[in-house]
Each structure stands twice: as C-alpha cells, then as structure tokens.
Structure 1
C-alpha cells in the first residue's frame, strides 16, 4: 500500500528479509475442480514481491527485467537502497516517488483479511499461457504482462481463462444493452463458460450479475486495489463474485482507480479471455480499448449490433463495418466466434440450470398464457430478486421458451 505518512515496513537493517511475517494459512483441499490451493512461497520472497508490486505503476517492465537479472529479494533491496546494478537505471526513475512509501506487511495483511492473496509467476494458479501474448505485445505504455496479481476469492484464474469470454461495453448502457448482456452471459454459463468483465456500471455489472444469477462462474478484473470498491456501490457485487469466483487486479491494496489504470486493466480483461464481445459501445466508449487489445493479441473479437439510430451502438457498428469484429446476435454466434470448428466447445452445465430449473417453472407461470408481463411484475409474483428473474428470462429466450418485445415477456405460441 502507498502510505501518505511516510511509514514503511521493517527497518533499514533488515530490508525485506524479516521472516516474522506470518505465512498465509494453508487452505483446505479444494473440492471444486475450478478452485486451486494457493502456492505457499518463502515469506521473505512474498514480502519482496509485495514491495515491488507497489513501488511503480504496473506493469513495471523495468522492475520485471531487474527481477530476472538478480532475483526478487535482491531487486527489492536494490530499489529500497537506491543502489542499482549497471544497466537498470530505468528502475530508479520509475520507483523514485514511491520506494519509501510502500509497506508490504500491511498490503499482505489487508489482502489476507479480505480473503485474498498475492500471486506471482511461480504460483500454481498463474495464468502463464493466457498472459504470454502480453510479453510480445508491448506496443503501448501500458503493455506487457503484470508483475504480480492480487486475487480475492477461491476461483482458479488459470482454469477460468481456459473457458472465459469477456463481455464489455458502455457504463451508460441502455435497456437493450443490459438485456443483451444478460442473454449472452446466461448463455455462456449454460455452455459451461466463465464470464469476465471489469465490474463497472452498465454492461459489466449486467454481465456479472446475470452469470451469478445463473449460478455460473465470473471474474472481475479491477483497476484498483482489492480493498477498494469501485464503483463504491458495487461492494456487495464484488463480495458475491469473490464468494465462488474471483476478483483480480495488478494493483496493491490502497491503490485507487484512475483513467490510465482502466486502460491498463483492459489488456488483462482481453488476455484472460478466449474471446471478447463488445455488447454496447458509444463513439468514445472505453470498451473500444479492450477491443483494440483483443485485436493486438489475436483474440477473437465480436460486437453486438444495436438499433441503427442508437448512439450507444455506434462503436459496435463501427467495429463490425470495419471488419474488426464479427457480428454477434445470439449465443450460438458467440460460440462460433470462440470455437469456429467446435474444437473448443464445452459441455453443457448441470440440468438444474436448464429445463428442469423449478424457478423457471415459476417464472413461466407468472408470465401466464396472455403474456405481456414486465420483469418487475414477474419478480413480484415470484417474490424473487429481479436480477435472478432477468437472468432466467434470458436463459428461457436463448432456448426458445420465452419471447420479448423489448419491454414485456410472453410465452411462445405452440
């Protein structure tokens, strides 16, 4: 954590080698194949990684090169003492303002209290293959792989990235955009996939909430520390994501969100996904930056078309018309984008998410034969959360068991 009071962890004589830092508790053996046991590393190395994670703005390529040259503990000592090996003076410039303000003990403790931990490239759950492309895609100031990842939640980042699709889009999403995000997220869960997004308002939160409501896996990639809820009123959402999935960031605890960190975060959203779909985006939407990273990394890119007159779909239409993105109008098209030849297709999820879901039966009964019922009316009739209702409606629409005119829902005619 970057401290404003000038305090630092440890003393100058035992720079980052004090072994009194307690090891994280060893978790119980996982019973879910998508949950991994954290790799336990030497506490002195852990503190050194935590220190280096906070002394420069990620992805900190110069620090990564120093670590490769001398090892993590000597790299941390060099930054702290301001004595750098020849050829590594770039580290001096990138760490000049923070090297004396980082308390690694505090950052590790904050993460542990949140149920989180620090991950390095030596960690069993480090998504090496997914992040490999960033090593050769340093075409911007915010390119390159992360030095570390801070993760909250039991979900495996590696296993999630092997079956993940990113759904991104405008924060000021329209009703059409949030509905399409729900349809696609629910369909992805039904196909056994993980939904990745950035935890923001609009399309991001609609994708996360729909995946959760469908009892699926979702990962939120943040542009701030694990201890900061951004947006502030998404705290409960992040708690729910972290209960079974994961909240992940390359920023240490205490680091706030800012524009350049969102842009840096977007490369991780793309890299950790098998495909990226822009659900809704205006002319200047930040989702277009994530789309650019998908193209740069060679990851399949799709975009959802919207009404021709909608300013919120201008970005999607441009991606499609320019040939940068494939048109994605439904889950079937999205699956073809991820796996054109079917080689990457995943098996369906358990039956309780499909036709035998008793809650779906309740929703169908609430719609009734006459139809024309709003999601709010259905939620009232079922005494259920409206997010769960919308997710169920989206699944029913995907499988042809409900239809919508954009505002109300009906059962299909037999």
Structure 2
C-alpha cells in the first residue's frame, strides 16, 4: 500500500515545477490544477506521452528541464541563503494570488522574516519608469514614505528609477517594503541594487517565482508584474512612457479589479505620457499618500480637503462682500451708486460700508467711499483668480 502524500511531498513537487514550468504559464497551471502537482511531477519524470494540447517541441523542452531539476538541492541552497518556499495551502500563502487563475504562481521563494500573507493584506504597488526624471524619483520616494508612515506596505520590482526610489522612500521612513524579482531571490538584480535588496531583505521581504540561481529575461520581467498587481490592493504608476512595463502592472491590476492610480506629470514629458493615457481611462489621479489611502484603505481613511489660503476677505459675510465688490477700484463712489451695484438699499449699503471701514477695507472721502490701498491689492488678487 502506497503511503498517502503529505505537505512535504506537495512542497517538493512545486519546487520541482518552478524549475521546469515558466512563470505565468497558464497551460502548465491548468495541468497542475487538473492533475495535481505531484502527478504532474510523476509524468514529467517518467517521460509520459505528450498530453493533448502540448506541442512536441514544448513537451521535449519540459522533459529536458525535468531531467535536470533537483528540488531537494534547490531547498538546501535556499536555506543557506535564508530563503523559504511558500506555496498554496501554506499559512503564509497570500490568497489574493488565486485571482490569477491558472496563471497564479506555483509557489513563491521568500527572503526576509515577516509574513508575506499578512504584509500583502495592507499593501500598495508603486511602479514606474526605470529612466525616471528627478521629479519621478521625488514623487515615488515621497509617496512611498507617506504610505509607510500610515502603516502601508510598499511593493515594487526592485529595478532602477521609480522602483528603487519607492523602496528607499519606505525604508527611509522606517516602514515596510517588498521587492518582487524576475529572477532567483538569492541573485540580486540589477547588480547596482545589491545593497538595496540586501537592506530590503533585512527590513522587509524579497520575493520571486524562480528558484535559486535563475536569471531574469525580458518575458520574466513582464510576467513578474502580474504578481505585483495581484499581491496588492492597488497600483500607483508614477512615471511611464507609452510602452513602459509599469503599464503592464497597471492593466493587470485593472483586470483583477484592483485600484489603479496615476501621478500626473508635465504634458510635455514623454515619461508621463503613459500615465496620462491611464488617467484618461479608469485610473484615478493621485498626488500624495493620503489620496492613495483614501482609495485603497478602509472606510473613514479620507484625504484632507484641499483649499487655498484663507484670506481676510473670505471671513466677511455675503452681504458685506457684495458691497465691497461694488466699489470701483480706481475712484470713489457715493452710497447710492454702491447700493445699486450691490443690489441692496442705501441704508444697508451705508451700514456695510461702516463695517468695512472698521475692518480697514474702505475709507470715507466727503460724501463718497473709496477702497483703501490694502483692500485694492486684495480685490485685484481675487479678480485675477477668476
């Protein structure tokens, strides 16, 4: 009698498959869902006949990869690097990844101490251009620091530009951040971010679908973005040209029903053209962390009202403002003329004029009334904003 397979067998099977099946392979994911991970491994190791719907060329490639797969060794190498493997069914597995269907990861390699599942529950993706401007780097860092200060986890891709600025902003605020890589998490990429990724692993989490030692490819970068979108409650794009990979993350977020946000830039900047395209669609314009949290957070987490400075004139009641507005700017006027301009009675206009004189807005000249110098500056400023 064959002993029943346990969690350890399932984990080994999925580790094996991460070495054989490429990230985001929906055909492979469907096969695992229908047959189970352990049965899939048995078929690959036993050189089973090609399944329906799989080309001869692809099946041959999968069998060749399966011959070289050593899941036990991958786990040993991972442990030596302080890396663990998390798969569906594990308490640490983020259940929102199930929204990816057959394209969900077979498992995730995780470097760092915190619980990935708990951190992902309150997380926001901040992504954007690699070759970002100083404005883009500033906005990414400031926005991420603000999110971290509000207790949110900042998720990004560990790349140069906006990604790096987002991670540094969260770390600088003493907050939490997660880097999702398109390679083995024991292999820092890009090399120039080795120190940053080491710091993230010490203070946060470094996550990836690929087993130890695997290198990134263009297709792996694109497919990595679906994980960033699925892990988080929403995605903020800071700067992105029309063909930026960060737009892939934003569109994946939209397909998954997540919030999609964009930080506007100059209309003359090609690096903001992709963001502006998103904003013309279903994405929401945001300018700071408070506005992001208002969208992705719980009920009551509202951004403050945005208002200009309160001017002394704003404190006047409506009737007094009408009388003040009726005074000519360059000459004096009689009470009758002012009353007609304010659409009120002469007695009411006179009462308001004495009130305005006590506040320093008008002064009396014989039978007429005239704006003071300070009031003229105030009124001109108000009119210039109209």
**What are the equivalent positions in structure 2 for 1:319-358 lying under 5 Å apart?**
319-320=278-279, 322-339=280-297, 342-343=298-299, 345=301
Instruction: Answer yes or no: is 1:178 the counterpart of 2:137.
Output: yes
Q: How many angstroms apart in 1 are the aligned matches of 2:82 and 2:51?
A: 40
Give yes or no for the alignment of 1:78 onto 2:34. no
How many residue pairs are counted as aligned between the two chains? 297
Deviating more after overlay: 306-315 vs 210-219: 306-315
Which residue pairs with 1:304 in the alignment?
Answer: 263
Structure 1, residues 117-161: CA drift from partner, whole Å, max 9, x if none?
A: 111102110011x112211xx7xxxxx111111111112221111
Shift of 1:93: 5.6
Following superposition of structure 1 onto structure 2, how do residues 221-260 of structure 1 map, counting pairs within 5 Å?
221-260=180-219
Between Structure 1 and Structure 2, which shows a larger proportion of helix residues?
A: 2
* Higher RCO (C-alpha 8 Å, min separation 6): 1
- Would you say 1:190 and 2:149 are equivalent positions? yes
The counterpart of 2:227, out of the listed 254, 268, 278, is 268
Residue 303 of structure 1 deviates from its aligned partner by 0.5
Tell me what 1:380 maps to.
none
TM-score, length-scaled by structure 1: 0.67
Contact 2:29–2:104 (8 Å) recurs in 1: no
Give the deviation of 1:84 after TM superposition.
5.3
CA distance, structure 1, for counterparts of residue 248 and residue 65 of structure 2: 28
Aligned partner of 2:80 among 92, 101, 113:
113
Match of 1:219 in 2: 178
Aligned partners of 1:260 and 1:41: how far apart in 2?
Answer: 31
- In the alignment, the residues of structure 1 paired with residue 189 and residue 15 of structure 2 have an alpha-carbon distance, to the nearest angstrom, of 22
1:247-292 Cα shifts (integer Å, max 9, x gaps): 1111111211111101100000000111100011122211111111
What does residue 57 of structure 1 align with?
Answer: 22
CA separation in 1, counterparts of 2:40 and 2:273? 47
Q: Which runs of 5+ in 1 are unaligned?
A: 1-16, 20-39, 139-143, 347-414
Question: CA 1:264/1:94 → structure 2, altered by over 3 Å: closer, same or farther?
Answer: farther
Residues in 1 aligned to 2:248 and 2:161: alpha-carbon distance in whole angstroms: 16
Q: How many Å separate the matches in 2 of 1:253 and 1:344?
A: 43
Instruction: Provide closer, same or farther for how the CA distance between residues 124 and 301 of structure 1 changes in structure 2, counting only shifts above 3 A.
Output: same
